[in-house]
Structure 1
């Protein structure tokens, strides 16, 4: 088990981004069986790093740019489950869907690393 605790670094003002927002859908079902989604917006903080940077993909039909990111945080993000949508992270004017969450608590209490993919592709 690693003995390195990076909490001080990940929480330092030099690295932490305090502008992150988590959009989460909660679904309720009425007695008549009608489902209603309610979105909550929760500010949180974490460190955002690039996965592969912005990647331009060219196809015969056109091109698009993707830009996968990682969010290192103590905030419990969700990649979705049965009956639950994946969280959406707002960062730097864009929205990203959480696709995978890994437990990184061996490097600091409660830390996770969430892989996030763009909700919309930037087309050209």
Structure 2
């Protein structure tokens, strides 16, 4: 398995799935994570990022989503293995929402699958 660190753009897109997940079923969230997985794979291909078939797969996406949950709930729910990068990007959502939205808009424009 080729391990590829998550970058800011990817984390912004993942956090966006989380912040829009309130009131959605597990199946709905999983579908959004699967759609994001496809977009992240497309992004990796366009940027020439070396990866394998496990890159940003659904299981990994669900684990990362739970890391966002942990960060968002101050450790009351989710998985406790949230990286410092994820914590900083989540904080940016609240401290600098304009920059967060600019990054999200750019990601969506470049890599969102229709």
The answer to whether TM tops 0.5 is no
* Greater helix proportion: 2
Which has the higher Rg, Structure 1 or Structure 2? 1
**TM bracket, shorter-chain basis:** under 0.3
Please give the TM-score of this superposition, normalised by the length of structure 1. Answer: 0.24
Please give the TM-score of this superposition, normalised by the length of structure 2. Answer: 0.25
